Every structure is written in C-alpha cells, then in structure tokens.
Structure 1
Amino acid sequence: MLMEQLPIILLGFTLGMMHALDADHVMAVSSLSNQKPSLRRTVLFSANWAIGHGSVLVISGLLLFGLGIALPEALIHVAEMSVGVLLIGLGLYSFWQFRQQKLVITKHRHGDVEHSHWHHDEHGKDVEKTATKDGHLPVMVGVLHGLAGSAPALALIPAIGQTELSVVIGYLLMFSIGVMLSMMAFGLGLGSLQGLLKQRYDMLFYWSRRVIALASTLLGCFWLYQAV
C-alpha cells in the first residue's frame, strides 16, 4: 500500500518545492527580512511563513475531503487581493524604515594606512533578538498565502485520482514539507548574500534593500490589479 502511494507522496513534495518559489511568496519573505536583514532572521521567517502556509492547506484538505466543506470563493478572492495589498504595504513600510536609518562613514587606521567605509546606523537595535519576537508576522502572511493558493493546490488532488482522506492528508503534508524546505533554502541563500554584501559591499547592500522594497511594491500593484 505504501509503495503504491509513494509516487503520489513524492509528487506532493516536488510540487511543494516548486510552489514555494512563486513570485509572491519569495517577494513577501524577502520584504519581511529586508526590514532588518540577518541570516538567522531570514531563515526563521522563511520557516514560519511555511508553517502558516502549510497549516491552511492541511486544514482546507481536512474540511474539503473529510467533511465536504470547501472554503468560500469570496474568501479566497479576498485573500488574493490581500496578498497584493500586503506586498505594497511591506514595500512602503521598508521605504519608511529606510528614512529612519542613517548612512554614515567610519574610518579605521591600520598602521600608516587609513580605511573608510559606509555603514548603516541601526540606532543600536539588536536584530537577532527581535527575530523571534517578530516571528508571528510571517506565520500570518503564510496563512494569507495559503488561503489565496488553497484552491489550485487542492484542485490537483482529484486530478491525480485520490479521494482517500489518509492519502490526501499525506499528500498535503509532503507538499507543505516541500514548501518549507524550499523556502528555507531560499532564505538561507538570501540571508547569506545579504550578510556578504553588508560586510564587504555596504553600498550594494544599501541599494539592494531598496530594490527589494521597490519590487515588492510593484509586484503588489500588479497582483492587486490581477485580482480585481
């Protein structure tokens, strides 16, 4: 029995890994971590987002295939529009935060050689300590994305000929695990890149954060236009 269902389980895992890298998912996590970039914060936010996203899919699957209750289309449509509003809000909030930060130059002397470089004045805030405190926000964002994307994900299940509740839940769990691992891998890459830029190329780091904020705002506008 297990061997018969293994291809379905692997399919769910593979589709989950691909689904995680949808543009709106990647941009939301990037914008969340962009506010106070750090490797630990980015990976943690990626995992928390995936938990919120996966929990909605599993609950939706239980309701639909266990009780025959589907999420209202109006709710899914509102969630789709909310994703656009969220991306716009995250982008604009990042720009507001940038105005609170100062780009200052510091000088260091090594013997007779003097070095100078730019860095951000973060007002003494400990980014690592605030990562866990802010962790609930990515979960809520993941829930929103889960609501918006639940219909396409659940629609795949009848298409592959599965109606047994145990198989459906197994499929959705593996789908969600695939989403989590893929998003955490993305978060690891993004966090590492931002850390490298911050340490060695601070001006590139400075502008990369603004590019992410602008991209989030523009994608949010496009997403909202498509949803409406």
Structure 2
Amino acid sequence: MPWELLSVLGIGLLLGFRHAFDPDHFIAVSTITSRTGNVLKATVTGIYWGLGHTLTLLLVGMPFIALKTGIPSTVETAMEVVVGLMLVLLGWTTFRSFQQRRTPDFEEAGKSEKGKWDSDKKTNLKSFLIGVVHGMAGSGALVLLTMTSLESLTEAVLYILVFGSGTILGMGMFAVLLGFSFTYAAKRFQKAERVIGMAAGAVSFLFGFYYIQAVLF
C-alpha cells in the first residue's frame, strides 16, 4: 500500500475521531446515554451511534463518489434541518421522561429481565437511527473530501471505513466517560440521575432550535 494512501487513511482516522465530538453529535449521544444507567450500556449506545453514522456515510456517499458529483446543497440543508428537529424531539422526550420520575429507579422498578432487555434494544436502535440521520447530514463534506483526495472507488470505500472507525472509536470513548460520570453522580447524589437527565434533555432541545436557525439563517 503506497505511503501516500496510508497517510491519507491515517488522517481520515483522526478526522473521524474528531468528527465524533461535533456539538450535535455529542449532545445527542449524551442525551441518550443519560437514560442507560451504567457504563457498559452507555458504551454500547455510543458504538451503535457510530455504526449507524458509518453505514450511512458508506451507502449515501458511495454513489455520489462513483458518479464524481457532489450532494446538492438543498439536500444537505434539508438534512441539517432534520438533525435539528431530531435534537428538539430527542430533548423533549428525554426531559419529559426524567421529569415524570418519582425516584431514581422509577423506570427500573417492576421491570422483568425481558423488559429491561427490550428497553436496551430500543435504546440501541434509537442510537443507531440517530447515527443514520447524522451520517446523512454529514455526507456532503466527506464526499467532496474523498473525491479530491483519492483516485479509485476502492480507496474511497477504504477511506470511509477508516473514517467511520475513527468516529466509532471517538464516540465509544466519549460514551465510556459519560457512563462513568452519570453512574458516579447517581450513586453519590440523591436524585442526580433525574437532574442530569432533565438537563441533558433541555440542552438537546434548545440546541436543536439553535442548530436549525444556524443552518437556515
């Protein structure tokens, strides 16, 4: 493998890692992980987000790269607005969920093991779908970068996979830190989990509106 390609892939890995920490990304994942309850579940949630994000970059980006054309700006703008609306909805539902808790263990009380498993699957699916939306909104810049940096379709696929791996790694590490922080706070301070969850929901809700106006105006 040529050194030039290796250097491009190395940069792609770093860019993917950095990309995971874009404000709309970490706010969304922070909001979801606030509801997971422990470090392992939080980490899995972050990884599912990264998988959804990477899959979409690959599926959406490759046709445009193969045709050597960019994604229309109107489509990019529309997808960015969808991201903002998603953050608003995610923030609102999370805020209301924690607001209605009477005790830190309100949601877990009375749940069977199957019920908890089903809840975890829904959380992971939600995280994956949010990653899909983020991937659709972020495809344009990656397509442009890939077309100008690489010569073949095979190299482009490899670059997107490496970029996506960096994103998964970055968000997975971020989710670990979130999981430890939320778990520590919940054990040390009474009602901390509820307060943190409501705060995360409020931030996502408000940032979603800010994000939409920044895209449109």
Same fold (TM over 0.5): yes
- Which residue, 129, 144, 166 being the options, matches 1:178? 166
The unaligned stretches of length 5 or more in structure 1 are: 104-118
In 2, Cα distance between equivalents of 1:68 and 1:121: 53
In 1, Cα distance between equivalents of 2:36 and 2:62: 37
Amino acid of the structure 2 residue aligned with 1:98: F
Larger CA deviation: 191-200 vs 133-142: 133-142
Amino acid of the structure 1 residue aligned with 2:206: L
2:17 match? 17
Which has the larger helix fraction?
2
In 2, Cα distance between equivalents of 1:67 and 1:197: 50
In 2, Cα distance between equivalents of 1:78 and 1:22: 19
1:106 match? none
Asked if residue 124 in structure 1 is aligned to residue 110 in structure 2, the reply is: yes
Q: TM-score, normalised by structure 2?
A: 0.88
2:42 match? 42
In 2, Cα distance between equivalents of 1:10 and 1:151: 21
Aligned length: 212
Larger CA deviation: 122-131 vs 75-84: 122-131
1:208 match? 196
The unaligned stretches of length 5 or more in structure 2 are: none
Runs of at least 4 residues of structure 1 off by over 4 A?
Answer: none
Output one character per residue of 1:106-152: Cα deviation in whole Å (capped at 9) or x when no partner: xxxxxxxxxxxxx4433333685221243221111111101111111
1:141 match? 130
Q: Is the 8 A contact 1:49 1:138 kept in 2?
A: yes
Amino acid of the structure 1 residue aligned with 2:179: G
Residues 99, 203 of structure 1: alpha-carbon distance in 2 compared, 3 angstrom cutoff: closer
Q: Is the 8 A contact 1:61 1:168 kept in 2?
A: no
Task: Calculate the aligned-residue CA RMSD, in Å.
Answer: 2.0
In 1, Cα distance between equivalents of 2:177 and 2:186: 14
Q: How does 1:73-84 map to 2 (within 5 A)?
A: 73-84=73-84
Equivalent residue of 2:138, what SS?
A: helix
The CA deviation at 1:70 is 4.5
Larger CA deviation: 10-19 vs 56-65: 56-65
Which has the larger strand fraction?
1
Residues 128, 185 of structure 1: alpha-carbon distance in 2 compared, 3 angstrom cutoff: farther
1:113 match? none
- Which residue, 143, 148, 157 being the options, matches 1:169? 157
Output one character per residue of 1:193-217: Cα deviation in whole Å (capped at 9) or x when no partner: 1111111223433322222111111
In 1, Cα distance between equivalents of 2:19 and 2:137: 13
Q: Percent identity?
A: 26
- Which residue, 136, 145, 160 being the options, matches 1:156? 145
The CA deviation at 1:156 is 1.8
Residues 222, 47 of structure 1: alpha-carbon distance in 2 compared, 3 angstrom cutoff: same
